[in-house]
Structure formats: structure tokens, C-alpha cells
Amino acid sequence: MRAARLATRWANANATKVAKRSVAMRATPYEIVVKGAPPEIQKLGDCPFCHRVLLTMEEMEVPYETKLVDLGNKPDWLLEINPLGKVPVLRTGEKEYMPDSDDICAFLEKEYPDQALGTPDGVKEVGSKVFPSFVAFFKSKDPSDGTEQELLEQLQALNDHLVKAGPFVGGQTICTVDMALAPKLHQLDLVLKKFKDWEVPEEMKAVKKYIALMRERPSFKATHYDDESVYMGWQKKLES
């Protein structure tokens, strides 16, 4: 009995120490460098990879501060911390920086295991081909080149998965895959309506519901950017 009480007391004390350490780790916000919306660079821009990281930090309740950057006129300090000049970039220490949304999200999952979103078995690649299919269709000027059909097939595969496993990619709760997929579907929905008068087919109800559900999450609303900045960004892709 005494041994059991001591074990329980030690476990409770250890849990308290872990909790205090976790709170201390979160006391100082991370600095995250993200795309700013031109021309003023006063608001969040339309990068889906930056959006993924911000969504992750919101959902995991990891404190952060954004540092907006003009990607059309990249400052020297950005090239110093990431010679590729890409965002997002997470500041992890006094002079330590981590680029790439994959690496940043993996870092956060490891750094905050109690708040980690996780990736259920078998869902890591769900929806991974939707975005490249969308880009190909968006840029296509030939209605018969198969890009629309490829996008429809990828969306149908996602819809089938969500019907079986939804409403989110991993089931009833969100996971890391949702953080990557939702910003891309958000932009797909806006951009194809605007530039091609094209929408996700009505029969793909699970995909349409998924987009709506993700847009209603507090994390999504907290990291929202103007539709106009999305249109501006994709207009440049058409002109390039």
C-alpha cells in the first residue's frame, strides 16, 4: 500500500513538472516568417504552405508571431536565413531557422507530443495528388488535354475516402494531413470558380462538406487571408 502511494505521489509530481516545463516552453512565441499580401505587406498573404504551418500552430495551441515578407521584393535578411528565399521559415533559436512546411510541422509534432495532431495509419498520402492536378488544370489552355479529368479523378478518390472515413481525413478528429490539404482545397475552390467558372461537382458532397467544415474551424478563421490576395497570386501564375 505504502509503495503504491509513493508511486502515485511520484507520478503526480512528475506530471506536474512536465506540465510546468511544457508551459514554460510555450511562454515565448515562435517567430514564423510568412508571405505578406502585396502591395502593403500589412496582412497575411495567400501561400498554402504558410497557411498549413499557421493552422498547425493554432490547432496545437503553440504561440507564435508572424513576420510578413514581400516575396516580390525579397529582403536580404530572408536570403540570409533561407538562401532559397522561400517561406515559411520558423525561428527555432537565437540564430537558428527552419525552412519548409514539412520540416516545421514535423518539428512541432515532436516538440509538443501532448498537443500533436498525429497522422493515423494509412492516410498520409490521402489527397496528395489533388493540388498538382489542380495546378495543371488551372494552367491548361487545351480542354482535351486530360487535365480536367485527372483533377476529377483525384477529387473523386478523396471524396470516396471521406465518405468512408470522414468527415476529416483521419476520421472524427483532425490530423496533420488536414493541415496540409485544407489550404490547398480552399484555394482550388476559389481559383477555379474565378478563372475557369468551374466548381467541385455537386455529387462530391463529402469534399464540399470537408471544405466547409475546415473553413468554419477557429484555426482557419484566425489564419484567413483575403480572397483578393488569392486571385492576385494565381493571376501572376497565369501571366508567368
Q: Summarize the chain as % helix, strand, coil (round to 5).
A: 55, 10, 35
Transcribe 166-223 into DSSP letters. Answer: -SBTTBSS--HHHHHHHHHHHHHHHHHHHHH-----TT-HHHHHHHHHHHTSHHHHHT
Question: Of 47, 50, 105, 175, which is the active-site residue?
Answer: 47
User: Which H, E and C letters describe 20-63, residue by residue?
Assistant: HHHHHHCCCCEEEEEEECCCCCCCECCCHHHHHHHHHHHHHCCC
Please state the φ and ψ torsions of residue 12, each to the nearest 5 degrees.
-65, -40
Strands, E, within 94-184: which ranges? 96-99
CA dist 116 and 98 (Å) reads 19
CA dist 212 and 206 (Å) reads 10
Scanning the structure block, which residue is given the C-alpha cell 500533436?
116
47 is catalytic: yes
User: Which residues are designated catalytic?
Assistant: 47
